[in-house]
Structure 1
Amino acid sequence: MTHDIAIIGGGIIGLCLARDLAREGQDVVLIDSGHHAGTTVNAGSLHVQMQSRFLRMYPELVPNLEASLPLYPAAVRSWQALATDLGAEFELRRSGGLMVCETPEHYEFLARKCTRERELGLDVEMLDRAALRRIAPYLGEAVHGAEFCADEGKLNPLLANEALRRDLHARAVPHHANTRVTRIEPQPDAMLLHCAGGEVVRAGRAVLASGAGTAGLAASLGLHVPVVAEPLHMNITEAAAPLILHLVQHAERMITLKQLAAGQVVIGGGWPARFSGAQDFPTVEPASLIGNLSLAQHIVPPIGDLRLLRSWAGVNTTADGQCILGPLPGEPRVHVAVPGDAGYTLGPLVAAMAAALLLGRDPGFDVARFTAARFSPAATG
């Protein structure tokens, strides 16, 4: 049997893409190894504004981030439409996001960023300490001010992922779980996907939606897609009364905070984890646990009274701050669908764009700078 399209990767992109294509009558198969499954350990932030710290650290990537910026408010709207379409409650709240800072110098940098983001179409504004106290009294005295983005928010990824899986099951989309594709072999009449257990899946076309695993699969075709697996640390506290009303992140330090509907506070923000063992399992670093929690209660002092329930490590995929979308150079039957920065936020939107490209339709955005061709020797040399 030859499927129309095989999707490699069962994260947020793969789940949404399989659903979009199945709704269009395509015979789709979803293949997921479960390795480094970033979607299943995600913290559920919906990011829109550019990361101040990232702009300072990587100024050469600012053009990429600015070019991608229009995708983010559209991505939040895609999440809202998906929740309505699925008829599912996964605690999606567009309650706004605060990027806080602790010094006048950093406030001025945020103000310049805010001006530029307004020029690029974002709904953002600066809040001084007095204005911030009125809408976020839970923030500590160390916070000097913040940039507020109205489109940011949060959701519960466990509930969202499960709702998507239920929908695919109802549509009878085949799902090969714990199945790792090791290489892709082009044939005149099909693409052969060779799996670690000896199984071979035939498909007319294939989509690499496997995050950092995309690099190895593209390499099996002799092509270069420079994505990197980045292990990161996260925490969750016991439930508390409603306290943190926004998505909170720091302009200069690694921290994000949000509170789930049940009251637990999820704390993340990019503190490093490490890979360990033969399977490169994402593993918690004690120094990150201590640093992450210490910074969290520095920004929001009331959470210092809460007990920590669980710490875990997940995997983020990084490239050059932009999505990678569309067919591989020289092999148009293999497409890539890897989101840019804040990949879970972009999931449903990037999946819809990837589906449009596969079906020969307008993806809604200019994707010329997002193609994998930018990594070819001709483009980089």
Structure 2
Amino acid sequence: MTTVQKIKEIEDEMAKTQKNKATSYHLGQLKAKLAKLRRELITPQGGGGGAGGLGFDVARTGIASVGFVGFPSVGKSTLMSKLTGTHSEVSAIDFTTLTTVPGTVKVHGAPIQILDLPGIIEGANDGRGRGRQVIAVARTCNLIFIVLDVLKPLGDKKIIEGELEGFGIRLNKKPPSIVVRRKDKGGIAITNTVPLTNIDHDEIKAVCSEYRLTNADVSIRQPNATADDLVDVIEGNRVYIPALYVLNKIDAISIEELDLLYKIPYSVPVSSSEWLNVDELIEKMWEALDLVRVYTKPRGGAPDYTQPVVLRRGKSAVEDFCNSIHKEIAKQMKYAIVWGASAKHSRGQKVGLEHVLEDEDVVHISKN
């Protein structure tokens, strides 16, 4: 039996098993087994599980990357071409884009790499079409645009989410607040700081048993934690990526229908062919990437607002700022003066390398 067949067999068994106290241990085991089989598809034996494949993995440029994911012929290539000026083959025929096509768009002074990925089909995470290579590239992006046809957004949205979920991509979610620590003895000790409403001790022990965790401390601090969350933590290979749902072809629908589309969370309705509402999409992209612009100020001079140093949130300390300009600057720095949101005083604050910068801060570096 192939891995895909085994997955289907377990999914069928889970679907017909009613969840209750008597079945929770069994369901916990099934969820763990399913995750382990999914892992085989992500990293199959022989090392073929990366983003590899001719034309799929591309050199990364810019401060962040945005991957376009969607079914064939939803307008990804048209949007990509107009955003970046990069030619991505456009046609009404399915599967026009056969490889990853990179381009760059500059937003607020920051170069953002755009990756137009080939259209995926249902069953992509099981290896159908080029789905596995496409989703493997998507796993490495900082933001995913899920491009949908406005005439059938909800059905396609659910299918694509399922494909990405099956490949270990968690959209618009934070990592679960669950800690699993292995130990030498003492069995499975479970502590929780919140009520367990969607998982019980039997299910937790079943998941641990499937992973041969016979001695471990399991600490759950997340409301509504599930067995799937526990599996994600134990597997350790999940990626948590923000996503925007780009609802394309709004020129084909009425104003009333457009109002309904805005009720879909994280959605941005656009028309790539008529270039409608793309400005909002670019702003939403900037917000989702959560980048930090920092401006330099020479001694006695005015800040340079034309060329910001762009940093990623979480890597925006003064040391990161220095290293992004030149590795030697941090070694030579005596102190920095910062103006802006991260500074305590409007007249500027003297700080060290560990100081965390905020968007649109101004920095002057004083050297030894």
Higher relative contact order (CA 8 A, sep 6+): 1
TM-score (norm 2): 0.25
Larger Rg belongs to: 2
TM-score (norm 1): 0.24
